[in-house]
Each structure stands twice: as structure tokens, then as C-alpha cells.
Amino acid sequence: MSVEHELTVGMVTGEGSMTITAGASGAPEDVRPQEDPGPRSAVGFQTHPSRYRHWHLSVEGPIATLTMDVDEQGGLVPGYELKLNSYDLGVDIELYDAVQRLRFEHPEVRTVVVTGGKEKVFCAGANIRMLAASTHAWKVNFCKFTNETRNAMEDASAHSGQTYLAALNGTASGGGYELALACEHIMLVDDRSSAVSLPELPLLGVLPGTGGLTRVVDKRHVRRDLADYFSTRSEGVGGRKAVQWRLVDEVVPRPRWEETVAERAAEFARTSPRPQDATGVALTPLDRTRTADRVSYRHVTAVLDRDRGCAEITVTGPDAEPPRTVAGVHEQGARFWTLAVTRELDDLILDLRTNETELGTWVLRTKGDPALVLAYDALLLDHAGDWLVNEIVLYLKRTLKRLDVTSRSIIALIEPGSCFAGSLLEPALAADRSYQLSGVFEEGDPAAEPATVTVGPMNLGPLPMGNGLTRLGTRFWGDADALAAATANAGEALEAEDAERLGLVTFAPDDIDWADEVRMAIEERASFSPDALTGLEANYRFAGPETVETKIFGRLAAWQNWIFYRPNASGPDGALRKFGTGQRADFDKKRV
Amino acid sequence: MTPLPAPADYSEKIPNNVDLHEDRRLQRALESWQPNFLTWWESMGPTLPTEDVYLRTAVNVGREGWAHFGHVAMRDYRWGIFLAERDRDRRIAFGQHRGEPVWQKVPGEYRADLRRLIVIQGDTEPASVEQQRNLGATAPSLYDMRNLFQVNVEEGRHLWAMVYLLHAYFGREGREEAEELLHRNSGSEESPRILGAFNEETPDWLSFFMFTYFTDRDGKYQLGTLKESAFDPLSRTCEFMLKEESHHMFVGTTGVDRVVERTAQLMLEHDTDDVGGLGGIPLNVIQKYLNFHYSVSLDLFGSETSTNVANYFTAGLKGRWSEERRRDDHRLTDDSIMVDAVVDGRIGQTEVSALVGLNSDLRREYIRDCQNGVNRWNRILEEAGLPQRLRLPHTAFNRRVGAFSGIEVTPEGEVLPAEEWERRKGAWLPTDVDKTHVRSLMRPVHERGKIAAWIAPPRQGINGKPFDYDYVHLA
């Protein structure tokens, strides 16, 4: 044990840096003035395997291999080196891109092997220098994104027939082990030194925050007392004990490593329902323009109103009938409305979350024909067995979940000419509040049809939240009658009074009150503490049962952020500050 | 095809200077509220049936317009909506927004606080009408009866003024609050008025005069702080209301004048202090009524320290009395103030930051003002050659709110044990015997030019009319 200890810590300090692992979240909060709030120009989330600096994606038949080989000099911002396969947001943006492309561009891939491209180390987790130099907001957003990508990997294993297999060719510590935990099967090389570990608590005085604690017990069913022991032991656990404790699924001697990984990958591939001879759909570059006060795509625009601290987002519905057959969906590929609008919304959410932290309120509108939205929904639901259709619906589900965990106040404005129906009703249901205009705007087009909302089949199951319930089910948690009433009105275009009565919208002001009510709601929101709002919204958005996802985004993230701010982590004598200095942290021993 | 209904003539029905005819939201809101207001007036307003009353109606805010006299049936009184003229260059005079232009719309950030302030102010207006509803039946003269009704319709108009703000600037929630103002009722078990002092019935005319002197004066000071508000429509509304409020205080001041004058006459004529048996109100009973109304009015200013009021000041919602005439930085972030406190069981003072002590600042302005009335009444006694004097009791006397709520104190400021207070308080506050006596004097005098024996007639009538003018036609 002492030998292992020496090895692990030696590895860390031997590199002459603090590059050891912390979970994405295991972020040391540096109490010195933080000068670099992150990149000055907007971070983009669009990339392509041909431009990856940190990953190799290779595909051989049904097996894809994602090799993490982080370019030490390739950090997103200057000021740190990504040693020991540690990662920053730039590394994770590539991972996210790969996960997405595997699903859409590679229907033939049934197993994704995640492995490392370095000797002796698989991945050391999030880069501590990077975290130390980042603002709190940057770190929290970074963790959120990495969490979402790991959830997306699990979603692929569970629902796409694309199983993720972690092939840990060296030590996986902190965020590195957490990445493995997001895979369905964990293989660890047995070289008598490689281990898996969550050293955040003993070494840094914080928690692993990319789902590690949750997945160890909730997903892998490691017994809680063993998990406790494991998480206090900085050198981690390797070899047979790691298997016995269920921390990994198998350990493989080095000589048989590649062969065994290939075997295992092939086994998983055999059980997949993915099609045999399907052609993938290329995720072509998004048609996106960004100026200081506007982000626009083909179907989505956001006006950035810095004075009022809000982004006014408009999502446009389809402008034509959906293709008549599922073949038409394949033919349209990335142009198919649902896929296109989802990609754009996804990119916008990531952009605004990362680059526009002071736009604290998102005002959501839709524009278009609700009947067309429902027609696209119907096409998708009629062909749920088709692999591409399945991927599109799953992607929409994941994107809406992003909205759920977004730390912005979301207000949906349902006005004449909008198309809050079915899949596009979901953003309104994800909102913290919604306003539906009763009647029409008399000074606009008095002959316009009043705004409506329509519950459709997409609202009744295919797009669950992280808590496993539909947004309607969450909205009406504990009120079966209200849920039944809303469900019974599915298909009806509901005007404001009906929608308000059924509890589908918050308020239904008329023309006379509209402007003032909306103005005051937005202004008032902007005046509250952003932190308290984030907490309030996160609590109210997730009524109902806990799941691994809700625990990660709620419980784990909240504890982690609390610990960061405590002097025992970030104070002058805190563990984060003392780490790497050769001195011990001096803890305030009082329990809180 | 049905003909379109003719647009209602709003300026005729509801005199206003807020362009009501152009404001659809306001029209709709008022159209649904007005019938409810009339129902409230019928059921909670003055109980004495009258044909008409010689009333002043404001038809505009100009010199001539604000005091338009004539006999009107109270139900048809034209409750108007008037704001003082807008000063287009007006800037915020205090708080963190000092120097910025005043707001013509409610900033979302302060919506809840502003709404609360307006609702609390608005709630007192109809409350006093309810408290005074039975007084008409015992009026000492038609002149006094007319003054009572004038005060009542103007309190009603002040309710309109607050409702206007709620309707015009606070959307749906504002309309709901406006409705609630009619559903809370003074003294009601289920839904009483918000402030305690407005849930006591005004049982007799001495109480009415004291109320209009002391409690309406609290209203004056509250309106004075709201007149400073950065929310310009509130400021302008309160500025105009203050004009009418001063008339209410005139009713109180001269009312007490005339009671004192009559008492002094009886004392001289009969060479006795005990004028009770002579149909007058003894001076010591007047003092007890004064003690009571003054002390409960002091309570209306709230605790000595208040973080709410500090926040209102900093936000620019509610200023100080004569804010712009004060010579300081109008932000008060570094200033302090001494406020009343109980220190080691004794009456003392403690230093707090000026912002949290704003209630004390306002109460002091009020106390100074109250002293003027007392001086005036004492002049009457002096001119009559009487040695007795009225006085304001100590600030700590009979307090139920604030630092002194936990101690019992004589009018001179001596702290007493609770039992002793119980035993002696009848010497300082109206006893049942006093109240019964005062009530026994409340015989109506409804004959032109006549007046009850416990009060002297006024020196002048209303609007140049003589005292024996037919101010009220009873039904």
C-alpha cells in the first residue's frame, strides 16, 4: 500500500506540477485574485475530427476507438499545460463532438472503446492549473458540460445500441476514472501499478464532481463503506481488489490487453440493435453567424440584450411539410427540421452558457405553424424503430435536458404566430414561467389568430427529463388529475384561458397588460441575486424522484460548490492551496 | 348590425388629468372597479341618509379647479383622479439613484415594494370612512356634518388615487390589490384593515376631531415621504392629496379649537373646572382624548429602526419629510442618528445608522408639528384668562409599537411598574365614564344655524357662506 502510494503521488509531483486529477469539479478554488475569467473571444463548440488536437477517432467496422491523447500545449487558453492527459473545456468539446458524430455519422458503430494514448496513464482528470485560474462561473459551467457529455455517453449505451467501453491502459484518477464510470464496462490493465482512484478528498480537500461519487454507488453498486474507503485513499485501488469491489469490471494482464479489449468490444457489438448496412448522416457545419448582440442560425436566433440582461431566443418551426417517408428523413439528413433545429438550439445553449454569463434571463419564443411541428413529431414517432429517427428524438431529449440544468431564468412568451406544440411545447414546459397572450395584439394584426399551445404525443413520453418523468409529469407532480386533464386535451390548440386553466402556462395577460407584465417580470428577475435564482430554479425544476442524473446535477454539484468556497479547501491553509507545496493543510476541525 | 356603444365620457364621469380617455387599460380597470367602489360606499360609507351636501369637488389641479363647490348627492360625487403637474426635469433627490431622472414606469426591481407601499397607504383611506360612518347621525351642526362628509368623500378620492396607481402601473396584480382594498373593512373579524389604528370605530365627535388632527397628520407625513418618491406618478399623486389632507387637519384643528373654546366659556361662566354637568367636555377629558390619539398615532410611524424603510430610502421609493430642503448628502450611508430606546429599564437613546433610523426622523418631524396645535389651543385658554394648559404626553406614553412598547410611562415620562400603570391609567386615558359622558353629549343638531352645547360655532362658514347656510339637505 505504501508503495502504491509513493507511486501515485510521485507520479503527480514528479511532473513538477499540480496536474493531478481532480474531478472536473474537483476544482481548486484559488482565493487569489482571479485575473483570467476564461477566453476573451467567444468559445465555439463546433469542431470536426479532422481538427481534433486531443483525441483520435478511428472506426473499424462495428468498433470505434476514441483515444485520448491530450496535446499538452493545446489548452483552450494560455497559462497551463495539459499534462498527464488532463483535460480542459477544449478537450471535452472534442469528446462531445466525437460522441455526437458516432451516433449520427456512424450507424455501423456498436461499441465505442475509450482509451488513452499515453504510457502508464489513462487520464488524470481535469487540469488543476486550469481550474485554479478560472472563475467560479467558468468552472461550474465546465463541470456541467462535462457532466452532460458523460450522460450522453450513457444515453448512447442505453438507447442507441452504441455501448461505451472504458479500456484503461493506465491509471485513471479523478475525472479520468469518472470518465470511465460513464462507460458500461471498465477494463483496467493489470500491471501492478495502474489503478483507479478518486483522490480529490485526500489530496485536494474537495470532491470528485463529474458524477464519480454518485456512479460508484448508484450505478456500479460499490458497497458504501468500501466506496468510502476508496475515496479517502489517494492511490486508489487496482488489480483484483478493484474488480472485487466492482470499481472496474475486469483487470487484464498487459500482454493480453489489446486482444482482450478487442474481444470485449466485439461481444458488446454483437448484442447491439444498430442496423447492418445503414448510411450515416453527416453533421454538416452549422450555418451560424455571431455578432456582439446577435447569434443567428437557420431556425434559431438569439438577440443579446445586455442592458436588460436577457437573451431573446426565437425558435422557428418548419417551413414545409415533413417528408412523406422515413427515407426522406435520411435524405434530408442534417437539413431535416427537427435535427437542424435541435443542433442549433444545442449550440446556442452551450454558447450562451459559456460566453454570456451576464445574460441571466432567457426569453423564449417560437414562430411558425404548430400543425407542421406536430406533423414532424408524428413522422418521428411513427418511425421510432428507425435508427436515425431514434437518434434525432434522443438528441432532442438531451438538448432539452440541457435547458433544464441551465442556470438561467427561462421565461416563455407565447404570442400569436407562435408554434408551442408538441416538441416545441417542451421549451415552454422547461421554462420557469410562461406567459400566453390572451386574445391578440390589437396594434399588431387584429385579425391574427390568438396564440395557442398544443400538447402532443411528444409531450407524453419520448422526451423525459433527468428525473425520468416527462416535463408535464414533473409539472403536475402529485396532481394526477391535472396531468390527466392536460393529457386529455392533447391535440387541442388551447388558447390562453384554457391553457392557464389547465396549468400549462403561468399567466395569460391580454393585450392591455402584456407589455407591462412581461417587462416587469424580466426587470424584476434581473434585480434578484443570480445565485439565489439559480438555486431556486434548480430546486423547482426537478420535482419528483431522484435519479443518478438529478443527484449529479443537484446534490453533488451543490456540495461540491459549497466545499470549494470553504476555507478548508480554498483558504490560505486549505488543502487546495497547500497541495504541491510539501506542506500539510491546516483544517478548521469544526464540522458544519 | 348593432350600433357601437358610444364611448363613455370619462372626463365628465371621472374628472381627471391623466388622459383617461386615451388609456384603454385604465378604462377597463376602472370600469370594473367603479361599481364595486359604489357598492362599498353604499354599504360602508356614511349611514345617515342625505339628499345632497355642499361639497368641494376637484375638477382639475389648477388654482380654480381643485375647489369647485356645489350641492351634490354623495353617491354622485365625482371622485376624480388628479396628479400634480408634471415637472419634466424632475430628478431623484435621494438614495442610490440620486440625480437620475425620476421613473415614469415602475421598475420591475421595485414592483413589489412600491405596490406594498401604495396598498398600505390606500388601505387607510377607505378605513377612515368606515370608522366614521355613524358620526353623521350625531353631528353637532350641519356645518360639522358637511365637514365630516367632505372628509369622507375626499378619503374616498384618495382611495381612487391609490387605485389609479395600482391600475395604471401594476397590471393584473395591481387590479387584484385594488379589489382587496374594498374587501378589507375597518374592524372586521375576517379581513380587517392593515394598520391597527384603522380598525377602531370613531365613536364620537371629540374622537373625530382628535383623529383628524393627529391621525390624519400621520397621513400627511406618510404622503410627504411618498411625495419624494422616484416613482413620479406616485409623487405627483401624493402631492395633490396633501392639498386635501391639509383640509382634513383643518377640520381637526378648528374642531378641537371650538371644543376648548366652549369649555373655557363654561369654566368662566360657572367658575368651575367641572363643566361635565353643564353639558360641556371638561378640560381633563380633552387632555385624555389628546393623550390617547397622539400616542396611538405615534405608533403608526412604526419601530424606531426599520430596515424596510432604509431599503425604501436607498431604492428611492420613499424619502424624508422635506427631503430636498435638507442639507446632507441624501444618501445617508455614513450618517447616524440617535433613536429612542429603553436602556437598563430607563428611557434613553441609542445611536443607529441614519438609514435604519428614518422612522424616528419622520416621527420627530410629526411631533414638532403636533405641538403647534397644542400651542394654538393653549392660546385660547390663555386669552380666556385661564391658567390651565393642554400638552403632548411624553413620547413613551401608552406606546404599543417600538422601543417603548414594553414599558409603562406617565405622560410626564416617569416609568411605572405595570400594576401601578393599571391602577393610575384612568387619570391619563379616557375611562368608560369619560367616554360615556362624551357620548351622552352627542345629540344631533340638524337645524340650520344651530349648534350643540359642547362646542362653539366656527368663526367662518365654508367658501364664504355663513354658518347658518344649508350645508346639508337630509333625506
Spatial distance between the Cα atoms of A511 and B172, rounded to a whole number of angstroms: 12
Report the CATH number that the domain containing residue B464 is assigned in CATH: 1.10.620.20
Minimal CA separation from B160 to chain A, in Å: 20
Does residue A549 carry a catalytic annotation? Answer: no
CATH of domain A2-38+56-272+563-578: 3.90.226.10
- In this predicted model, what pLDDT tens digit does every residue of B125-180 receive, in sequence order? 999 999 999 999 999 999 999 999 999 999 999 999 999 999 999 988 999 999 99
Tell me which of A39-43, A549-553, B43-47, B317-321 is least confident: A39-43
**Closest B-chain CA to A442:** B24
For residue A20, what pLDDT is reported? Answer: 34
Percentage of chain A surpassing pLDDT 90? 81
For residue B8, what pLDDT is reported? Answer: 54
Query: Does position B81 have pLDDT exceeding 70, yes or no?
Result: yes
- In chain A, which residues have their Cβ closer than 8 Å to the Cβ of B96? none
Q: What would you measure as the largest C-alpha separation in chain A, in angstroms?
A: 80
Residues A300-337: b if buried by 16+ CB within 10 A, e if exposed: bbbebeeebbbbbbbbbbbeeebbeebeebbebbeebb
For residue A555, what pLDDT is reported? Answer: 87
B108/A517 touch (CB, cutoff 8 Å), yes or no:
no
- In this predicted model, what pLDDT tens digit does every residue of B428-453 receive, in sequence order? 999 999 999 999 999 999 999 999 99
For residue B323, what pLDDT is reported? Answer: 96
Residues 60-119 of B with CB under 8 A from A: 105-112
Q: Which of B25, B108, B172 sits opposite A519 (nearest CB)?
A: B108
Contact, A211 vs A149, CB < 8 A?
Answer: no
Task: Quote the mean pLDDT of chain B.
Answer: 93
Cell output for A36 = 483570467
B109/A512 touch (CB, cutoff 8 Å), yes or no:
no
Cβ burial of A225 (10 Å; 0-12, 13-18, 19+) is exposed
In this complex, how many residue pairs, one in chain A and one in chain B, have their CB atoms less than 8 Å apart? Answer: 37
Query: Does position A573 have pLDDT exceeding 90, yes or no?
Result: no
For residue A5, what pLDDT is reported? Answer: 29
For residue A176, what pLDDT is reported? Answer: 98
Per-domain residue ranges for chain A?
Answer: 2-38+56-272+563-578, 289-540
Q: What total of structural domains would you count in chain B?
A: 1
CATH of domain A289-540: 3.90.226.10
* Residue A555 vs residue A2, higher pLDDT: A555
- In this predicted model, what pLDDT tens digit does every residue of B283-297 receive, in sequence order? 999 999 999 999 999
A526/B169 touch (CB, cutoff 8 Å), yes or no:
no
Q: Which of A512, A513, A524 sits opposite B111 (nearest CB)?
A: A524
Check CB contact of B169 with chain A, cutoff 8 Å.
yes
Spatial distance between the Cα atoms of A124 and B123, rounded to a whole number of angstroms: 66
Question: Is there a common fold for A2-38+56-272+563-578 and A289-540?
Answer: yes
Q: What is the DSSP string of A49-92?
A: GGG-SSEEEEEETTEEEEEE---TT--SSSS---GGGEE-HHHH
Which whole number is the average pLDDT over A474-493?
98
Cell output for B453 = 352645547
- In this predicted model, what pLDDT tens digit does every residue of A538-571 receive, in sequence order? 999 999 999 999 999 998 888 988 888 889 988 8
Q: Is residue B23 part of a domain?
A: yes
For residue B29, what pLDDT is reported? Answer: 86
- In this predicted model, what pLDDT tens digit does every residue of A28-45 receive, in sequence order? 333 333 334 444 578 999
Cell output for A379 = 413522422
- In chain A, which residues have their Cβ closer than 8 Å to the Cβ of B108? 519-527
CA-closest candidate to residue A338, choices A104, A163, A107, A95? A104
CA-closest candidate to residue A163, choices A251, A262, A246, A271? A271
**Closest B-chain CA to A520:** B108
A523/B107 touch (CB, cutoff 8 Å), yes or no:
yes
Q: Please, what is the Cα angle at B402 between B396 and B405, to 5 degrees?
A: 60
User: Confidence class of residue B9 from pLDDT cuts 50, 70 and 90?
Assistant: low
B109/A526 touch (CB, cutoff 8 Å), yes or no:
yes
- In this predicted model, what pLDDT tens digit does every residue of A215-234 receive, in sequence order? 999 999 999 999 999 999 99
- In chain B, which residues have their Cβ closer than 8 Å to the Cβ of A525? 108
Pick the catalytic residue from A81, A154, A178, A495: A178
Q: What would you measure as the largest C-alpha separation in chain B, in angstroms?
A: 83
Query: Does position B315 have pLDDT exceeding 50, yes or no?
Result: yes
Q: Is residue B41 part of a domain?
A: yes
**Percentages (nearest 5) of helix, strand, coil residues in chain B:** 50, 10, 40
Task: Quote the mean pLDDT of chain A.
Answer: 91
Spatial distance between the Cα atoms of A570 and A577, rounded to a whole number of angstroms: 6
- In chain A, which residues have their Cβ closer than 8 Å to the Cβ of B105? 516, 519
Q: Which of A516, A523, A525 sits opposite B171 (nearest CB)?
A: A516
B228 contacts: CB under 8 Å, gap ≥ 6? B93, B94, B235, B318, B319, B320, B323, B324
Query: Does position A519 have pLDDT exceeding 50, yes or no?
Result: yes
CA-closest candidate to residue B166, choices B231, B89, B210? B231
The residues with which A111 forms a beta bridge, in sequence order, are A63, A163
CB-side exposure of A368: number of CA atoms within 13 Å?
Answer: 28
For residue A130, what pLDDT is reported? Answer: 85
Q: Is residue B3 part of a domain?
A: no
List alpha helices for B132-229, DSSP H. 142-169, 171-183, 205-210, 216-227
- For chain B, the distance separating the N- and C-terminal CA atoms, rounded to the nearest angstrom, is 45
Query: Does position B348 have pLDDT exceeding 70, yes or no?
Result: yes
Distance of CA A546 to the CA centre of its chain: 17
CA-closest candidate to residue A96, choices A135, A173, A43, A169? A43
Q: Can you say whether residue B173 is alpha, beta or left, with left for phi > 0 and alpha for psi between -120 and 50 degrees?
A: alpha
User: Confidence class of residue B409 from pLDDT cuts 50, 70 and 90?
Assistant: very high
Does residue A178 carry a catalytic annotation? Answer: yes
- In chain A, which residues have their Cβ closer than 8 Å to the Cβ of B316? none
Minimal CA separation from B168 to chain A, in Å: 10
Element (H, E) at A409: strand A409-414
Query: Does position B15 have pLDDT exceeding 80, yes or no?
Result: yes
ipTM at complex level = 0.77
Q: Is residue B384 part of a domain?
A: yes
Q: Is residue B29 part of a domain?
A: yes
Q: Which of B22, B104, B106 to mutate to test the interface with A (most CBs of A within 10 A)?
A: B106
For residue B454, what pLDDT is reported? Answer: 97
CA-closest candidate to residue A8, choices A167, A217, A174, A244? A174
- In chain B, which residues have their Cβ closer than 8 Å to the Cβ of A512? 24-25, 28
- In this predicted model, what pLDDT tens digit does every residue of A66-84 receive, in sequence order? 999 999 999 998 889 999 9
Give the amino acid at B243.
K
Helix (H, G, I), strand (E, B) or coil at A108: coil
Residues A36-65: b if buried by 16+ CB within 10 A, e if exposed: eebeeeebebebeeeebebbebebeebbbb
User: Confidence class of residue A13 from pLDDT cuts 50, 70 and 90?
Assistant: very low
Which whole number is the average pLDDT over A449-461?
97
B171/A522 touch (CB, cutoff 8 Å), yes or no:
no
Q: Containing domain of residue B178, as a range?
A: 12-323+332-474
A520/B111 touch (CB, cutoff 8 Å), yes or no:
yes
- Give me the residue label for grid cell 450513457: A154
For residue B172, what pLDDT is reported? Answer: 87
